[in-house]
Amino acid sequence: MKVIILGACGGMGRFVAKSVSSFEEVDDLAIADLNLKDAELFASQLGTHSKGVEIDINDTDGLLSILFHYDVVLNTVGPFFKFGYQVLKTSLEANCHYMDICDDWEPTEKMLELNNIAKEKKLLAILGLGASPGITNLLGKIAIDHLDKAHTVYTGWNLEEAQPEGVSSQKGTNAAMIHGIEQITGKVKIFKNGKFVMVNPLKEQEVSYPNIGTYNAYIFGHPEAITFPYHFKDILNSVNLAHGNKSTIFVLRIIRKLIHLKILTKNVAARFLEWLEQQENSQKDVQLNSLPEIYALAIGLKNGAEEAVGVSLDGESSRELTMGEATGYPLSLGLKMFLNNEISERGVIAPESGCIDHKKLLMEIYKSFGIKDAKIKIDKSW
């Protein structure tokens, strides 16, 4: 199988590439990056079946001509609100299967509209197969399955864990930080009372998590709010939430206000946020909020009563995972399942789609994290 990884030298792409390079099913691996020297150097470290390729994804014709030579495209190039839709469209035109780590809701809506084209071409496209979205979607599907009928799903994660990667070929402002600033400014889309609505990000939301307690979390623009209603027609509410120290939320709200007042540009704000993350990396406050680091919470009916079920990952790693590992390994392992014919669906889907063995993929992700005695933790209200 011939696989090409776009943005393979970036903070997320490096982990995807290292993982995929060990797959015996992949006999031709292209390490694609804007900088050819970086791509060739990195490819030389991954085996003789890997080669560096220079790609500018803004050059659609050039990208198309290269993708025609491959079977699967793994896209790690962010921010996805700028590049996601066009890269998927081009991949389908080149008759390639496609997977990415898209974490922006705006392109996710448009990319799902390409479902019929992908099905007609008998191609699979999985959107947002990272940590959040990705792991959160898998947890959400398991939570929904524990209820007779779910009407609400929350996905959530800890802001303090979202640290940028130290090693990356990317020049300029970090794409993850640009994404973060984009999703805390303006309005973001959530699913509320059976309709998509635009709301202010960072709005406080009370979360009552079974066996843990009630805590505050904050609306954060993400694809999960879009994809759960797409896959589950009974869902009436779908929201992605972030939680963290009060000081972190306070800083994000100040940044949001300064951008709205046009005192800060989004790029300057993203650079400041990246610097701030680096300063706080070694001296974080003790977090009082005890929601799981990453989770999904489904609310609905069970045996005729209103109940809730929270699903999280239980287990400790011998070391602290980076954002690149937490995001990159799920994508590579999703590819592994596809190559082993364990995902036979065609069309444009998100990770919560019923065609994926959610528990198996989660446990494989856990293994890749080096976590022993890992398990999926289920907290029920009944």
320-336 tens-digit pLDDT: 788 889 999 999 999 99
Q: Confirm if 137 and 224 have CB atoms less than 8 A apart.
A: yes
pLDDT by residue (tens digit) across 61-106?
999 999 999 999 999 998 999 999 999 999 999 999 999 999 999 9
Q: What is the pLDDT of residue 286?
A: 45
Q: Which of 1-5, 288-292, 344-348 has the lowest mean pLDDT?
A: 288-292
pLDDT category, 318, cuts 50, 70, 90? low
Average confidence (pLDDT) over 341-346: 96
Q: Confirm if 6 and 36 have CB atoms less than 8 A apart.
A: no
What would the two tokens of residue 47 be?
Answer: 């085996």
Q: Which of 60-64, 107-111, 279-283 has the lowest mean pLDDT?
A: 279-283
**Cα 92 from chain centroid (whole Å):** 21
Q: Using a cut of 0.85, tell me whether the model's pTM lies above it.
A: yes
- Given 3.30.200.20, 3.30.365.10, 3.40.50.720, 3.50.50.100, which CATH number is that of 2-131+324-373? 3.40.50.720
Q: Confirm if 126 and 339 have CB atoms less than 8 A apart.
A: no
Angle in degrees, CA 93, 63, 230, rounded to 5: 50
Task: Give the chain as a 3 state SS string.
Answer: CEEEEECCCCCCHHHHHHHHCCCCCCCEEEEEECCHHHHHHHHHCCCCCEEEEECCCCCHHHHHHHHCCCCEEEECCCCHHHHHHHHHHHHHHCCCEEEECCCCHHHHHHHHCCHHHHHHCCCEEECCCECCCEHHHHHHHHHHHCCCEEEEEEEEEEHHHCCCCCCCCCCCCCHHHHHHHHCCCCCEEEEECCEEEEECCCCEEEEEECCCEEEEEEECCCCHHHHHHHHCCCCCEEEEEEECCHHHHHHHHHHHHHHHCCCCCHHHHHHHHHHHHHHHCCCCCCCCCCCCCEEEEEEEEECCEEEEEEEEEECCECCCCCHHHHHHHHHHHHHHHHHCCCCCCCEEECCCCCCCCHHHHHHHHHHHCCECCCEEEEEECC
> CA distances (Å), 325 to each of 16, 24, 49, in order?
8, 21, 23
Q: What is the pLDDT of residue 176?
A: 81
Cite the residue boundaries of each domain of the chain with CATH code 3.30.360. Answer: 135-317
Q: How far apart are CA 238 and CA 188, in angstroms?
A: 12
Is 124 a residue whose pLDDT tops 90? yes
pLDDT by residue (tens digit) across 219-273?
999 999 999 999 999 999 999 999 988 888 888 999 989 998 999 898 898 888 8
pLDDT by residue (tens digit) across 181-219?
989 899 999 999 999 999 999 999 999 999 999 999 999
Is 304 a residue whose pLDDT tops 90? yes
Cite the residue boundaries of each domain of the chain with CATH code 3.40.50.720. Answer: 2-131+324-373
**Averaged pLDDT score across all residues of the chain:** 92
Q: What is the pLDDT of residue 266?
A: 87
pLDDT by residue (tens digit) across 18-43?
999 999 999 999 999 999 999 999 99
Q: What is the pLDDT of residue 101?
A: 98
- Given 3.30.360, 1.20.140, 1.10.3470, 3.10.20, which CATH number is that of 135-317? 3.30.360
Residue 115 exposed, middle or buried by CB count within 10 Å (0-12, 13-18, 19+): middle
Q: What is the pLDDT of residue 171?
A: 57
